[in-house]
Structures are given as structure tokens and as C-alpha cells.
């Protein structure tokens, strides 16, 4: 696959001194050391939404840097950075059940993010079929604004109405699923299932929007 | 929607995370054994001479190859289905059934000599073997590709190929019980072709259907 840019998606799993001294995470320093994200994921899988959000935010930040670099190296602007970040995060989210919690988190998260990043960038490279010399003006111009096209808002319209209502309620209004369930006259479990399927469909939509 | 909002939505979905790989594997293997067992009873049947000691011994020798092939490739498939356990050296496990087959061939040369090896290799049911094994293998192959879809293979082609090999291993285990050709040379040649064909189909299927 010679045309694929070498993507540096190795996530930084290095733990600083500050991390070890802060007590925000599971207390046992033996466990925390080196597997901080793993600990976050463990409690997340047990249903801790706050830790999970924190883990995803940290992953997003780490991914953003490497994806920006990879896109720049393959001569594509920054416009797609958030799209790719979201694709990778959704993959982590949807596949997290395949992580065996008794194994270290590092190899799993690195494998998942690397595969998905390369996959997303490869699809973008392929769909960018315009010869490069036609793009010289664009490339020489000012850097594109990030997020210009990164609106999942557009993709949200591909979801069913009920899915949209629920995704908006939990994401934009920050409401709890139990709360949303009550106002929609559904059970909490029902809302969670709809939310889960909505995220799965979003991942599919995001993927096909660049194939 | 900005990424932060998407993350909020995902965080609210923290609890639903299941690993469907083990369950689907059991279902795929279980259903395949039932379906192939039914086809075997209705269509193939045990070879008529299975009452004799010679036929029993010869069949057992064939089964050591097909069963070790099924086990090894199924084990590797499960390893490839999920990321983080990536270890290319464990692929050497596939050499085990190959070594078994080589030893069996060597034993045959030792007991029967080199004369007439071409006839033993071609056998009498080659084409039937070539038709039945891939047809039977299609059942477990579909199931094992479904296993891969539940997982997150980062080498979908390789994972699909292993699914093809495992499916052929299971199929040829049933076929070996009915086929009267016993020479390891026959097995190496005809079963080998069948394994290769299904492995290629599996690789393509893996690339197409188990991407995620």
C-alpha cells in the first residue's frame, strides 16, 4: 500500500509525575501507573459516565494532533480532522466490548485507533481523485478553517426522528437518559438502546460519507 | 455537532458494551456441526467399509489432520478477531497440521514404497471431494465471518482467510468420514486444493464483510 501516508497514531500512554500524584483516579498507584486510560475504561465499562467522557476527551486530544499531522503530510487540508477524530472515537466506542479488561489497554487502543485512522485517511485519499496539480492554488492558499465541514449535524439528519431527538437531548442539552425517557414516555433502557443504535448508525453514516 | 458533543452522547451510552465474539463463535460452530451433521446423514453417510480395522485406522489418520487443522485455525481466528493480541509468530501453529500430514505421507512411502504414488494421489473420488468440501465449508464460513463482524479484526483479509481454513477443516472432517480414499497424498492434493480455494474466498469475504 505504497500510496498510504505513514500515519503516526501511536498514542502517548506516557504517564507524568503529576498524573501519579493527582488522586483523581483509582487510588492504587501500582494499577494507575502506565494504565491510566485502562483504568478509566474499566470504570467506564462499569457505567461511570464521567470517567468515560474524560477518557474520550483525552483520546480525542491525542488523536487530533496525530491526525492533523497525517492529513498535512498527505496534502489534505485540516478540514477533515474532526471528521476523522469522530470516526475513530466512534469505533473505539462501538468496539470497546472487545477489550479484555484483564489485559493492558495500550495494545488494544493503539491497534484500534491506528487501524481506524489509516482506514479513514485511505478512504479520503482515494476519494480525492482530482490531480494534485489542479489543487496547487488551494494548497498555496491560507490554511482551511478546521471544522468547516466537520458537522455531524448534517449527518444527524440521516438518523430517525426519535434517534435525533434523543441524541440532541443528551449531547446538546446534557440531559440524563432517565430524564429523556420520562419526557418521551419511554423506559430508560429503551432510550439507552435507541441512543446506542443512533451512535452505531452515525458511525456508518460518517464512514459512507467519504467512500 | 462538534466532537465534544458527540463525546457527551457516547458517555451517556457507557453501559452498553458487549463482546459478542465468544457467543457468536459458539453459535457458528454449533449450528455448522448440526447442519453438516444433517447433510452428512442425509447425503453422504459413513463409508461402507468402516467396520474394518484398516478403514478405521485410515480414517482416524485423516481425522487427525482435519481436526488439528480446524482447531489451530479456529484458535488463530479468535486471536485475529480482536485487536491487542496480535502475534504473527502464533501463525506458525498452522504448521502443526501440515507436519502431521507430512509425517503421514512419509509413513505411507515407508510402508508402500514410491511405486504408484501418482495413482494414490489422484485416487478415485478427487472431483467429488473438490465439490463437496467447499460446498460443506460454506456453512461454517458464513458463521465465522459473522464472528469477525462482531469483533474488530485489524487484518480483515488474514482473519477471513483463517475463517476459510477453519471452515474447510470442519467440512473436511465430515467428508473424511465418508470418503474411501485414504492416502495422505490424496488428502494433501485434493483437500489441499479445497482448502486453498475456500481460504481465498474467505480472505475476500473478510476484506469485504468484516471491515468496520
pLDDT given at position B83: 87
What cell was used for A109? Answer: 487502543
With residue B11 as reference, give the H or E element that holds it.
helix B3-12
Strands (E), chain A: none
Tell me, what DSSP letter sits at residue B91? G
Percent of chain B at pLDDT exceeding 70: 98
Tens-digit pLDDT profile for residues A171-195:
888 888 888 999 999 999 999 999 9
Separation of first and last alpha carbons in chain A: 17
With residue B121 as reference, give the H or E element that holds it.
helix B117-122
The pLDDT of B141-155, averaged and rounded, is: 95
* Interface mutation target, options B12, B85, B149, B208, chain A, most CBs of A under 10 Å: B12
Write the residue in B5, B6, B16 that is nearest to A192 by C-beta: B16
Residues 6+ apart with CB under 8 A from A96: A41, A44, A45, B17
Write the residue in A98, A107, A150 that is nearest to B21 by C-beta: A98
> Which of A182-191, B30-39, B87-96 has the lowest average pLDDT?
B87-96
- The answer to whether ipTM exceeds 0.85 is no
What cell was used for A199? Answer: 451512535
pLDDT given at position A127: 62
Backbone angles phi, psi at B17, to 5 degrees: -150, 105
pLDDT given at position A34: 58
Backbone angles phi, psi at A83, to 5 degrees: -60, -45
- Min Cα distance B149 → chain A (Å) is 10
The reply to whether residue A108 touches residue B21, judged by beta carbons under 8 angstroms, is no
Tens-digit pLDDT profile for residues B182-208:
899 999 999 999 999 999 999 999 999
pLDDT given at position B146: 97
> Which residue numbers in chain A have pLDDT < 70?
1-34, 126-152, 211
pLDDT given at position A14: 39
- Min Cα distance A176 → chain B (Å) is 7
Contacts of B16 in chain A (CB under 8 A): 192-193, 196
pLDDT given at position A25: 33
- Burial classification of residue B103, based on how many CB atoms lie within 10 Å of its CB (0-12 exposed, 13-18 middle, 19 or more buried): middle
Mean pLDDT for all residues in chain B: 92
The reply to whether residue B6 touches residue A57, judged by beta carbons under 8 angstroms, is no
Matching residue, cell 478540514? A79
- Min Cα distance A25 → chain B (Å) is 17
pLDDT given at position B114: 80
CB atoms within 10 A of CB B88: 8
Residues 6+ apart with CB under 8 A from B176: B59, B62, B63, B66, B187
What is the greatest pairwise CA distance in chain A?
Answer: 57
* Interface mutation target, options B2, B9, B18, B148, chain A, most CBs of A under 10 Å: B9
Is residue B20 predicted with pLDDT exceeding 50? yes
Amino acid at each position: 500500500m505504497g500510496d498510504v501516508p505513514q500515519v503516526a497514531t501511536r498514542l502517548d500512554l506516557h504517564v507524568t509525575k503529576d498524573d501519579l500524584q493527582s488522586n483523581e483516579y483509582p487510588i492504587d498507584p501500582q494499577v494507575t501507573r502506565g494504565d491510566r486510560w485502562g483504568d478509566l475504561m474499566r470504570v467506564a465499562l462499569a457505567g461511570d459516565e464521567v470517567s468515560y467522557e474524560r477518557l474520550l476527551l483525552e483520546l480525542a486530544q491525542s488523536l487530533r494532533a496525530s491526525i492533523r499531522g497525517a492529513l498535512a503530510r498527505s496534502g489534505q487540508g485540516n478540514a477533515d480532522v474532526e471528521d476523522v477524530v469522530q470516526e475513530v472515537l466512534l469505533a473505539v466506542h462501538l468496539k470497546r466490548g472487545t477489550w479484555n479488561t484483564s489485559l493492558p489497554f495500550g495494545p488494544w487502543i493503539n491497534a484500534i485507533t491506528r487501524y481506524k485512522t489509516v482506514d479513514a485517511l485511505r478512504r479520503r485519499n482515494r476519494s480525492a481523485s482530482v490531480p494534485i496539480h489542479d489543487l496547487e492554488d488551494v494548497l498555496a492558499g491560507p490554511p482551511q478553517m478546521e471544522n468547516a465541514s466537520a458537522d455531524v449535524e448534517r449527518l444527524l439528519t440521516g438518523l430517525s426522528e426519535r434517534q435525533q431527538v434523543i441524541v440532541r437531548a443528551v449531547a446538546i442539552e446534557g440531559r440524563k437518559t432517565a430524564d429523556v425517557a420520562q419526557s418521551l414516555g419511554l423506559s430508560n433502557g429503551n432510550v439507552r438502546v435507541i441512543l446506542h443504535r443512533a451512535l452505531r448508525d452515525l458511525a456508518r453514516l460518517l464512514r459512507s460519507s467519504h467512500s | 455537532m462538534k466532537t465534544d458533543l458527540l463525546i457527551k452522547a457516547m458517555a451517556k451510552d457507557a453501559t452498553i458494551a458487549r463482546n459478542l465474539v465468544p457467543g457468536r463463535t459458539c453459535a457458528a460452530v454449533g449450528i455448522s456441526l448440526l447442519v453438516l451433521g444433517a447433510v452428512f446423514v442425509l447425503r453422504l453417510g459413513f463409508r461402507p467399509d468402516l467396520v474394518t480395522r484398516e478403514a478405521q485406522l485410515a480414517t482416524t489418520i485423516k481425522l487427525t489432520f482435519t481436526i488439528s487443522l480446524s482447531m489451530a485455525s479456529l484458535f488463530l481466528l479468535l486471536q485475529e478477531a480482536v485487536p491487542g493480541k496480535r502475534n504473527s509468530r502464533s501463525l506458525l501453529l498452522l504448521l502443526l497440521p501440515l507436519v502431521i500430514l507430512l509425517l503421514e505421507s512419509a509413513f505411507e512411502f515407508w510402508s508402500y514404497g514410491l511405486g504408484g504414488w501418482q495413482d494414490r494421489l489422484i485416487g478415485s473420488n478427487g472431483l467429488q471431494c473438490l465439490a463437496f468440501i467447499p460446498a460443506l465449508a460454506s456453512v461454517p464460513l458464513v458463521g465465522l465471518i459473522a464472528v469477525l463482524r462482531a469483533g474488530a479484526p485489524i487484518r480483515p483479509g488474514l482473519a477471513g482467510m483463517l475463517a476459510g481454513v477453519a471452515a474447510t477443516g470442519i467440512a473436511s472432517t465430515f467428508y473424511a468420514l465418508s470418503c474411501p480414499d485414504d492416502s495422505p497424498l490424496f488428502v494433501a492434493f485434493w483437500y489441499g486444493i479445497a482448502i486453498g480455494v475456500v481460504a481465498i474466498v474467505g480472505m475476500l469475504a473478510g476484506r469485504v464483510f468484516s471491515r468496520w
